Amino acid sequence: MTRARFLQIIAGWAFLFAALPFRALAALKLKPVANMAPRFTVPTGDTSPITPTSRFYVEDISGVPDYVKAGAPDWMLQIHGEVERPLSLNLKAIAAKPQVQKIITLSCIGNPVGGHAIGNAKWQGISLRKLLEEVSPSSDADWMIVRGADGYHESIPIKKARHPAALLATHMNGERLTKDHGYPLRLLIPGLYGIKQVKWIQELEFSAGRQPGYWNKKGWTRDARVQIFSRIDWPHQGENLLRGNHNIRGVAFAGDRGIIRVEISFDEGKTWQLATLGKPLSNYSWVFWNASVPLGPGHYSVMVRAADLYSGIQSGYKRDPFPAGVNGFHRIEFKVF
Ligand SMILES: Nc1nc2c(c(=O)[nH]1)N[C@H]1C(S)=C(S)[C@@H](COP(=O)(O)O)O[C@H]1N2
Ligand SMILES: [Mo]
């Protein structure tokens, strides 16, 4: 063996040993949610019914595309494929169409139990249903494929695209969409997780077949129907309270299915008590709940569950966000003195 060959082999082994722990770590980190990592902050004060845009979670596969950073010059929405009347629209043409405003809660499918990768906003834009009437997809076009400027795409069943409240939005909370949230155009279809709500849209293609999206190819759900979610926002974990009446509160959400009941339990789910529901800002918005309870000194553990119009009450079954959205009771522990 030559000296050079010997060194080469040593270097090879050294590399392998150095690389191994990192690879093992990376695999561990990737496993739980197959790499979906929404960016969010936990608010310190009360949750507001409409989430300020600056505090709205952000999630995307590779950040704002350079083209959008540059202001999306000469941007056009191309509508093509199996349609009778293909169409290109610039922002001016979109602004000239009748504008609709919808309050829709958006949740990342990677949002953990009790997580804040969920927000509520007022979106403004054009009705997707109306646009479909205008371009008239052919009778065998079953799918709408939506493509964004970062190469991300998703397939939406035409039936879902015809949701009466679905919109292509140019504005969020009264301002032009920020680059983070999809400028110049993004999709919002009530009832579906964020995975389907494509940002920086450039293309709608109508097709007889679907094209599995980025996350679907990694094993995530193809339907992305929102699961029931309920969260305790107050008290905070580990809080110390004084004895007396306390107003336990939080939010619940079930896409477009409407929350009909929220319950809390102080005894690990043996008994449940009904919370009071606030009036949601729309049929597609989260609801606020609260329960006023007298509390004496002690250690407490409180859990929450919710029911929607069609699915019955949330089960305690713990399910990871991967592959179809999280389930499990959110729990908060606190002390009363
Ligand atoms: N073009 C594009 N659109 C996208 C994504 C993406 O990576 N690229 N991520 C989706 C996911 S997983 C989520 S949860 C929402 C998040 O929207 P937000 O960042 O405005 O909160 O955008 C969706 N739309
Ligand atoms: Mo997401």
pLDDT on residue 8: 55
pLDDT on residue 34: 61
pLDDT on residue 144: 98
- Per-residue confidence at 94, pLDDT binned at 50, 70, 90? very high
pLDDT digits (tens, 9 = 90+) for 244-286: 999 999 999 999 999 999 999 999 999 999 999 999 999 999 9
11/109: higher pLDDT: 109
pLDDT on residue 5: 54
pLDDT (average), residues 25-30: 40
pLDDT on residue 183: 98
Instruction: Report whether pLDDT(9) > 90.
Output: no
pLDDT (average), residues 299-317: 96
pLDDT (average), residues 36-64: 93
**Atom 19, ligand 1: residue with shortest CA distance:** 58
Beta bridge partners, 289, equal 250, 277
Cα 145 to Cα 91, 157, 180, 198, 225: the distances in Å are: 20, 9, 21, 10, 17
**Atom 18, ligand 1: residue with shortest CA distance:** 58
**Atom 22, ligand 1: residue with shortest CA distance:** 194
Cβ < 6 A, ligand 1 pocket: 38, 56-61, 106, 108, 148, 150, 152, 181-182, 194-195, 197-200
CA distance 203 to 54: 27
What residue spans in the chain does CATH classification 3.90.420.10 cover? 3-64+74-218
CA distance 188 to 306: 24
Which range, of 12-21, 31-40, 197-206, 302-311, averages the lowest pLDDT?
12-21
pLDDT on residue 28: 41
Q: For a pocket test of ligand 1, which of 33, 55, 60, 204 has the largest count of ligand atoms closer than 8 A to its C-beta?
A: 60
Q: For a pocket test of ligand 1, which of 35, 39, 55, 59 has the largest count of ligand atoms closer than 8 A to its C-beta?
A: 59
What residue spans in the chain does CATH classification 2.60.40.650 cover? 229-336
Distance, CA 194 to ligand 1 centroid (Å)? 6
- Residue 265 · residue 272 · CB < 8 Å: yes
Retrieve residue 115's tokens. 């997580």
pLDDT on residue 169: 99
Distance, CA 12 to ligand 2 centroid (Å)? 39
229-336: CATH class: mainly beta
Which one, of 247, 238, 227, lies nearest residue 329 by Cα?
227
Distance, CA 34 to ligand 2 centroid (Å)? 11
Task: Say which ligand is closest to the CA of 216.
Answer: 1
22/79: higher pLDDT: 79
pLDDT on residue 21: 41
pLDDT on residue 15: 43
CA distance 161 to 168: 10
CA distance 92 to 69: 20
Instruction: Report whether pLDDT(30) > 80.
Output: no
Closest ligand 1 atom, CA of 62?
A: 7
> Considering the chain, what is the average pLDDT of its residues?
92
Task: Say which ligand is closest to the CA of 152.
Answer: 1
CA 104 to chain centre: 11
- Residue 329 · residue 269 · CB < 8 Å: yes
CA distance 285 to 101: 13
3-64+74-218: CATH class: alpha beta
Distance, CA 117 to ligand 2 centroid (Å)? 8
- Per-residue confidence at 14, pLDDT binned at 50, 70, 90? very low
